């Protein structure tokens, strides 16, 4: 096995929003970056495409490996081959609403997949540092707001339950086996690279499409639903900072501010000079069986110990996302 390299990082979920931004961050800091990708019928990994055409990076400082979280053999093979100093575990079925439709595969990927990774890491001769991307959904409908690292878990979705399992297993392996293993409890974080099935991207896309005359209306669920939405690029920085801290601890990454879906729509449509009232309609099909409530984080610990900050305000972030959609849709 090659020697442990503290400047080598392995990212699960590298093709996602967070994975792509984290890849850029680590490459800028001089890391050799390895990513796990699933073998599928499509090779569309658009968030990483700017690296594929750069011969100085792709297959020189950035390497992709086929592996699945439900296949411990491939996971072990890649980890032993790469021998990373740091692992950023971002992969999983991350859509909360969808988890009600596919609860079994959500738990298999998000919960048991994390356990498989922990088992492999503890058997390695020199276990790497592990960052696990947890979620505010572990809190569900908390009795206390804002939530911090000590708030009890009370998930109300299969996704939240799977994340709670994975988060607690990381803590167990840290205490039992002495692993350097951190949980980052990530509240919602957005960017122009957000997946199309998330409400922020859906709203920003619709506002741009309606402005260009490509669509006529936007159907949404509960407009009063509130979330703590932040900038994904800053949350990725928090991941790196957590693994540079002298001790392995859990951190909440959040803005500490709540905004409603109605606020989201108002900012997105205002960015293109439209009044959201004229185009947004509610549709019961988009209501969740149980809606999390008062999910707002307290990032005081991350601010104090890591020097982290949440980045640009919500209104500016939504404007950036909407204008990015406008540019994409308006470009032939």
Q: Which residues are known catalytic residues?
A: 135, 137, 159
Provide the β-strand partners of residue 297: 147
Tokens of 227: 């979330």
Q: How far apart are CA 146 and CA 163, in angstroms?
A: 19
- Do 322 and 274 meet the contact criterion of CB atoms below 8 Å apart? no
What totals of helices (H) and strands (E) does the chain contain, helices first? 12, 13
List of residues 6+ apart from 60 with CB closer than 8 A: none
CA 139 vs CA 91, 212, 251, 270: distances in Å: 20, 39, 14, 32
Q: How far apart are CA 220 and CA 222, in angstroms?
A: 7
**3-state percent helix, strand, coil for the chain, nearest multiple of 5:** 45, 15, 40
- Do 16 and 46 meet the contact criterion of CB atoms below 8 Å apart? no
Classify residue 152 as exposed, middle or buried by CB count within 10 Å of its CB (0-12, 13-18, 19+): exposed
Q: How far apart are CA 61 and CA 294, in angstroms?
A: 42
- Do 229 and 14 meet the contact criterion of CB atoms below 8 Å apart? no
Q: How far apart are CA 306 and CA 323, in angstroms?
A: 32
For residues 137, 314, 190, 159, the Cα torsion angle rounded to the nearest 10 degrees is 10
* DSSP H helices in the chain: 17-28, 49-52, 72-82, 96-99, 103-107, 113-123, 158-177, 199-211, 232-244, 261-271, 300-306, 314-330
């Amino acid at each position: 096995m090659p020697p442990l390299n503290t400047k080598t990082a392995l990212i699960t979920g590298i093709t996602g929003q967070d994975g792509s931004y984290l890849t850029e961050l680590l490459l800028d800091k001089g890391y050799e970056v390895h990513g796990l990708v699933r073998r599928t019928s499509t090779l569309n990994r658009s968030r990483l495409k700017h690296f594929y055409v750069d011969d100085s990076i792709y297959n020189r400082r950035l390497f992709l490996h086929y592996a699945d979280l439900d296949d411990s053999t491939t996971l072990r093979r890649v980890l032993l081959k790469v021998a990373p100093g740091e692992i950023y575990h971002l992969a999983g079925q991350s859509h909360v609403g969808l988890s009600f439709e596919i609860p079994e595969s959500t738990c298999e990927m998000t919960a048991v997949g994390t356990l498989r990774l922990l088992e492999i890491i503890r058997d390695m001769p020199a276990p790497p540092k592990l960052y696990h991307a947890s979620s505010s959904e572990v809190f569900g409908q908390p009795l206390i707001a804002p939530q911090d690292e000590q708030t009890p878990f009370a998930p109300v979705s299969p996704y939240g339950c799977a994340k709670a399992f994975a988060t607690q297993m990381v803590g167990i392996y840290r205490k039992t086996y002495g692993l350097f293993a951190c949980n980052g409890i990530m509240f919602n974080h957005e960017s122009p690279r957000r997946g199309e099935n998330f409400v922020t991207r859906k709203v920003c896309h619709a506002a741009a499409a309606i402005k260009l005359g490509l669509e006529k209306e936007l159907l949404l669920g509960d407009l009063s639903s509130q979330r703590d939405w932040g900038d994904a690029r800053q949350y990725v920085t928090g991941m790196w900072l957590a693994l540079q801290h002298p001790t392995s601890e859990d951190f909440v990454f959040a803005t500490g501010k709540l905004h409603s879906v109605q606020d989201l729509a108002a900012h997105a449509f205002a960015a293109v000079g439209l009044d959201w009232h004229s185009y947004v309609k509610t549709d019961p099909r988009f209501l969740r069986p149980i809606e999390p409530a008062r999910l707002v984080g307290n990032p005081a610990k991350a601010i104090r110990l890591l020097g982290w900050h949440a980045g640009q305000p919500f209104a500016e972030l939504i404007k950036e996302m909407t204008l990015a959609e406008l540019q994409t849709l308006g470009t032939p």
